[in-house]
Amino acid sequence: MRRDEHELLSRTGPGTPMGNLLRRYWIPALLSRELEADGAPVRVRLLSENLIGFRDSNGRVGLLGEHCSHRGASLYYGKNMNGGLSCWYHGWKYDVDGKCLDQPNEPPQTRFCDRIQQKAYPCVDRNGVIWTYMGPPDKKPDFPEFEWNLVPESHVYASKRYQDCHWTQGMEGDLDSSHLNFLHGTETINASPSHGKYESGKWMADDPNPKIEVVQVPGGILHSARRDADPANHYWRIGEWMLPCFTTIPGFPGDAPFGGHAWVPSDDDKTWCFAFSWHPVRPLKDTELKNMLTGWGMHSLLTPGTFTAAHNKSNGYAPADYPPVKQPWQRIKIFQDQDTAITESMGARFDRTRESLGSTDGLIMHTRRRLMATARALEEGKDPPTDKRNYRMRPLSCLLPRDTPDWAKAVADTIDARPETYQLSV
């Protein structure tokens, strides 16, 4: 990668080409459970902007610029009551749209209040996640129809976790089927509670060199990794990368919930990783929820009261009381901890001019190219694809006969996220 490409891909602050692209999409900002009506305001940094989330007396969610329009006091200390957030310093009061409702320290006849607009981004609260749109108001797209946004709330579990590195470093782990064999390995795969009765762990272990194929689709890239399974079949792991920061993860064959990620830049060195588990046609089972809450599958065990993983850099990504081992990697036993450890180990923002990409990195190259091309096109005035229907895609982990002529055609109906297309995959 050239130096200028590395810079283009890396920077997401206001006014940068990649920042402008990300701002044309709805992105997760907070979990719904972080905000209660008339409860404490919450600080959140997104795309290098410091923001304050709050839920007003009527349950409406607001996401305001952190610093008060008067003289910049932080609204984190604001009083959230009576239908708005009042700055603690001189009482200027804002509603969820950033409209100034009251200026108790100004004479009312000046109507100065009417000329004040606090920075505010629109929010949608859906299935446990608060989404926001930080771009130009006249370009706001329809809310994206991810399957996890469409099914009943009982079919979805969402969590978030802080990650100490650039958003693409985390995201590219989802786009790299080859690491399953090495970073996770058969032992971790077979220990995963969602691994069903099929031999997918063995199929992955026996074929460390999956054949990667990609298909460009309107909202992103459909991708597959093909491995040998048995004399009659290949094992296919099929997923999607969707503009700009969304992935779906093929799980294991069977009836397990599907998984997806949103890799939201906090800034250019830190990331909010939102994880979604959902089932298209049934509520999540208690056993599945229990596994999710204890750090299996897509989700991490968190340090209580925080969104930092309990197993993190400071403790070697493992429980503090883990018995002594000879080498650091031997302590890290849980799927998600392994992914976090290895992507954070690259450093906050690895210099991509120093990489050496090989054949199994093809999907990563395709997504980077697509991101950069879409950001450059936007600079030239071409709107990015934001159709809400682009997001109606689900992942798949399945066997297909070896003589299947076109995998993408063979699975087109099954990955089209509508309840009637759901089928148990084998």
b/e per residue 333-345 (b: at least 16 CB within 10 A): bbbbbbbbbbbbe
Q: Which amino acid is at 191?
A: A
Tell me if 253 sits within 8 A of 234, measured CB to CB.
Answer: no
Give the interface segment with ligand FES, choosing from 57-65, 67-75, 316-324, 373-381 (CB under 6 A): 67-75
Give the interface segment with ligand FES, choosing from 65-73, 108-116, 225-233, 315-323 (CB under 6 A): 65-73
Decide if residue 87 touches ligand FES (CB under 6 A): yes
Secondary structure (H, E, C), 31-66: EHHHCCECCCCEEEEECCEEEEEEECCCCCEEEEEC
CA–CA separation, 97 and 106 (whole Å): 21
Q: Which of 68, 214, 302, 332 binds ligand FES (CB under 6 A)?
A: 68
Q: In this complex, which beta carbon is closest to Fe ion, that of residue 62 or of residue 239?
A: 239
Decide if residue 158 touches ligand FES (CB under 6 A): no
Least distance to ligand FES from the beta carbon of 91, Å?
A: 6
| Residue 339 binding partner per list Fe ion, ligand FES, none, with a CB distance cut-off of 5 to 8 Å that depends on partner kind | Fe ion
Give the interface segment with ligand FES, choosing from 66-74, 107-115, 180-188, 247-255 (CB under 6 A): 66-74
Count of beta carbons in the 10 Å neighbourhood of residue 270: 17
Q: Which of 1, 31, 37, 73 binds ligand FES (CB under 6 A)?
A: 73
Q: In this complex, which beta carbon is closest to ligand FES, that of residue 70 or of residue 195?
A: 70
Q: What is the DSSP letter of 306?
A: S
Q: Is 258 exposed, middle or buried (0-12, 13-18, 19+ CB in 10 A)?
A: buried
Q: In this complex, which beta carbon is closest to ligand FES, that of residue 60 or of residue 90?
A: 90
What would the DSSP string read from start to end of 77-119?
A: G-EEETTEEE-TTT--EE-TT-BEEE-TTS-GGG-GGGG-B--
| Residue 116 binding partner per list ligand FES, Fe ion, none, with a CB distance cut-off of 5 to 8 Å that depends on partner kind | none
Of 301-340, which residues contact ligand FES (CB under 6 A)?
none
CA–CA separation, 88 and 410 (whole Å): 60
Least distance to ligand FES from the beta carbon of 41, Å?
A: 13
**Residue from 165, 131, 176, 118 nearest 270 by CA:** 165
Give the interface segment with Fe ion, choosing from 14-22, 123-131, 275-283, 335-343 (CB under 5 A): 335-343
Least distance to ligand FES from the beta carbon of 100, Å?
A: 10
Decide if residue 339 touches Fe ion (CB under 5 A): yes
CA–CA separation, 372 and 169 (whole Å): 16
Decide if residue 64 touches ligand FES (CB under 6 A): no
Encoded tokens for 403: 């003589």
Q: In this complex, which beta carbon is closest to Fe ion, that of residue 86 or of residue 247?
A: 247
* Residue ranges that bind Fe ion, judged by CB under 5 A: 339
* Residue ranges that bind ligand FES, judged by CB under 6 A: 68, 70-71, 73, 87, 89-92
